[in-house]
Chains A and B, each alone.
Chain A
């Protein structure tokens, strides 16, 4: 059974870098045809997509965060990581990792987030 689990510090100081890891069990990231996503949720912004990353490290980023976001994938440890630089209070949120799966029909590929981690709460505060 596929499971995702986020880990990382629950408290980050303003201007520092937030680093989170999503460990995947039940499926190998390497060589898979799925993207692996980061999504966050805050009372002020609701659900906000951050990125979709392929096991090769290529992917898509939210332009609103792109200059501060970097994603890495470690297929040997079967995990992928989020680094968000220069955080402010606005980055306080619950951070989720998820699998970005797809359904193909009629020549189209429809993407959706079908498996989510439980989320990890991050507070940005001095």
Chain B
């Protein structure tokens, strides 16, 4: 199985800050990386799919990059509604695996 790690596990930032989350795969997943946002009491919501495509309706302050084993999700200007847990997920191979999540708190 491909193991996913994320860092940091949590962060707190102010409105307007640029925030970057890192996701690392235990082996190359080329560009097969998705990102999800989950708010309390809700299912995960797809925000970015390969290759760096923003899902329709997702604000353009979200972006993603990376290939191989190292990936990043960036929020260019953090907003209060971005308070959530963010997960990476590889679709290079089965079993599909998710990262443990990064909790973002907005100060």
Contact = CB atoms under 8 A, between A and B. Distances in A.
Contact of A116 (B1, B43, B95, B97): B43
Given A96-B43, A114-B55, A117-B43, A103 B98 contact: no
**Interface class of chain B by DSSP:** loop
Contact of A110 (B43, B51, B99): B51
Contacts of A96: 43-44
Interface in B11-62: 31-32, 34, 36, 42-46, 49-51, 53, 55
A103 B50 contact: yes
Interface residues of B, number: 26
A49 B96 CA distance: 6
Given A46-B98, A49-B98, A60-B94, A112 B34 contact: yes
A105 B94 CA distance: 20
Contact of B44 (A103, A111, A116): A116
Interface string A94-114: 001010000101001011111
**Interface class of chain A by DSSP:** strand
Contact of B95 (A63, A113, A117): A63
B49 A103 contact: yes
Contacts of B42: 118
Interface of B: 1, 31-32, 34, 36, 42-46, 49-51, 53, 55, 87, 89, 91, 94-101
Given A46-B99, A62-B94, 15 more contacts: A47-B89, A49-B97, A64-B95, A105-B51, A108-B31, A110-B32, A110-B49, A110-B50, A110-B51, A112-B46, A112-B91, A113-B36, A116-B44, A117-B43, A119-B43
